[in-house]
Amino acid sequence: MQKIGHFIDGKHVEGTSGRFADVYNPATGEIQAQVALASQAEMDAAIANAAAAQRGWAATNPQRRARVMMKFVDLLNRDMDKLAEALSREHGKTLPDAKGDVIRGLEVAEFCIGAPHHLKGEFSEGAGPGIDMYSMRQPLGVVAGITPFNFPAMIPMWKFCPAIACGNSFILKPSERDPSVPIMLAELMIEAGLPAGVLNVVNGDKSAVDAICDAETIQAVGFVGSTPIAQYVYSRSTANGKRAQCFGGAKNHMIIMPDADLDQAADALVGAGYGAAGERCMAVSVAVPVGETTANALIEKLAPKVEALKIGPYTAGNDVDFGPLVTKEALGRVRGLVDQGVKEGASLVVDGRDFSMQGYEDGFFMGGCLFDNVTRDMDIYKTEIFGPVLSVVRAETYEEALDLPLSHEYGNGTAIFTRDGDTARDFASRINIGMVGINVPIPVPLAYHTFGGWKKSGFGDLNQHGPDGFKFYTRTKTVTSRWPSGLKDGAEFVIPTM
């Protein structure tokens, strides 16, 4: 049985706690490895190592730090297939989707090559008599990231790339469900020229999370996961004086107006709703057609597309649309929510609960499910299902449709499909959601913009990547400078007004 340890001080380290978690192959249901769960002593050692390495890294000029990122991007491209295969083997998503996972992280690394520009301060000459003022952005020190199972390449890179480019050292606590790729990324950073100890990967469970939240040396924490845990990490970290950006659950609505291209909308819903088996925080899980005619026509187009979805193991390559869920527990939870939706009176148009694949009967597979006539009081509407389930909530008017995402507790992403510019503009202006798509089903911003949800989807003042990433991982120092030549003697007791 393969044992997966930690990556500390630029090398692999075996776990010493004696505690392990099983890592499954979701397609077969078999245990393929065990990952070590760090003790407090192991976490303390990693943090001390990161603190020692950070001082020299912070003194490295930003252009040289950017060159490490540049080389890292080259290595990601070189090892793309290797990374995707390892990712798919532990997560279950298809190889093309796994490559997309890596690429969206790579794009943030590319953005971080511009660190010398993003870290520039401001300068004001002659702010007063003989006085100049300037500001500079300096690293925080040791920072940490706690990342989820559903994007084991992308989200770690969203965290550690800007942090490291800013001159911090980083402690990464990835999901114990698919731990191999984060360690592979750390290996590539060392190969790219990153000094040992600047990036450390420590596997663990709740005790490791608590250690990160409580460690006095760690100055900032980034988290992505469920809303209850996001709130927990945010509260515990900020109570200990840390910066925190914590992103939680989602319930992403897509409104379909009567003038929309329904073929385009149906294709968008199927891809955004069922890709990666729905295990995406930006998955569209609620379709809101406006008007009975629109709703009936949409269901007529959706049902055969959902029934025709190709499901299978990642080894099938491009021949499958999505793979299994990540664990048996995740599969049971999603099936249970579908059962609950039926009990509550929603119409299960397509039922994928009993999907089974010959030769993979023990895998965590589930077919696509499509609900119609879902109402806002049902659990399947209120809860983030995180599975291949799409709910159709019918609305009579645009205002009724708009009120659904406006009133929902989550505010991660949303979309509208329409040919009318006035409607689209009104929607984008009024909606209280962090990321909005107009005829775009998964509005994930590119690396040079920022990613983050509102309401109970996000906790903290600054978002992930883009300019916010550099702001989050640095603090601003402002210097007021005057040299003594020509100054008159004597104390001044009035506040300077220049």
- Percentage of residues of the chain with pLDDT beyond 70: 98
Q: Calculate the alpha carbon distances from 194 to 9, 197, 414 in Å.
A: 11, 9, 38
Do the domain assignments include residue 131?
yes
Do the domain assignments include residue 494?
no
CB of 391 closer than 8 Å to CB of 286: yes
Q: What is the mean pLDDT of residues 238-242?
A: 97
pLDDT on residue 128:
85
pLDDT on residue 498:
61
Do the domain assignments include residue 449?
no
pLDDT on residue 491:
73
pLDDT tens column, 131-168: 999 999 999 999 999 999 999 999 999 999 999 999 99
- CA dist 206 and 193 (Å) reads 32
Q: Are both 263 and 188 inside the same structural domain?
A: no
Q: Are both 159 and 64 inside the same structural domain?
A: yes
Q: Are both 430 and 299 inside the same structural domain?
A: yes
- Buried/exposed 8-26: b ≥16 CB within 10 Å, e otherwise: bbbeebebebeebbebbbb
Q: Are both 17 and 126 inside the same structural domain?
A: yes
Q: Which of 166, 213, 246, 281 is catalytic?
A: 281
pLDDT on residue 318:
83
Q: For the chain, what is the total number of helices (H) and then of strands (E)?
A: 16, 23
Order of strands, sheet of 131-139, starting from the edge strand that comes earlier in the sequence = 123-128, 131-139, 474-482
Q: What is the mean pLDDT of residues 371-388?
A: 97
Total number of domains constituting the chain: 2
Q: Are both 334 and 215 inside the same structural domain?
A: no
Work out the pLDDT band at 85, boundaries 50, 70, 90.
very high
pLDDT tens column, 287-314: 999 999 999 999 999 999 999 999 999 9
* Range(s) of the domain holding residue 331: 252-438
Q: Are both 383 and 434 inside the same structural domain?
A: yes
pLDDT tens column, 411-451: 999 999 999 999 999 999 999 999 999 999 988 999 999 99
Q: The domain spanning residue 154 has which CATH number? A: 3.40.605.10
Do the domain assignments include residue 362?
yes
pLDDT on residue 249:
95
pLDDT on residue 18:
94
pLDDT tens column, 200-223: 999 999 999 999 999 999 999 999
Do the domain assignments include residue 64?
yes
Do the domain assignments include residue 475?
yes
Mean residue pLDDT of the chain comes to: 96
Q: Are both 170 and 263 inside the same structural domain?
A: no
Q: Are both 239 and 328 inside the same structural domain?
A: no
Sign of CA dihedral 316, 318, 319, 322: positive
pLDDT tens column, 474-498: 999 999 999 876 556 677 778 777 6
pLDDT tens column, 63-84: 999 999 999 999 999 999 999 9
DSSP string, 219-281: EEEEEES-HHHHHHHHHHHHHTT-EEEEE----EEEEE-TTS-HHHHHHHHHHHHHGGGG--T
Q: Is 112 an active-site residue?
A: no
Do the domain assignments include residue 445?
no
- CA dist 226 and 249 (Å) reads 5
Do the domain assignments include residue 273?
yes
Q: The domain spanning residue 365 has which CATH number? A: 3.40.309.10
Q: Are both 194 and 268 inside the same structural domain?
A: no
Q: Are both 222 and 315 inside the same structural domain?
A: no
Q: Are both 261 and 237 inside the same structural domain?
A: no
pLDDT tens column, 6-41: 999 999 999 999 999 999 999 999 999 999 999 999
pLDDT tens column, 248-277: 999 999 999 999 999 999 999 999 999 999
pLDDT tens column, 404-413: 999 999 999 9
Do the bridges between strand 11-13 and strand 20-25 make them parallel or antiparallel, or are there none, so unpaired?
unpaired
Q: Are both 228 and 299 inside the same structural domain?
A: no
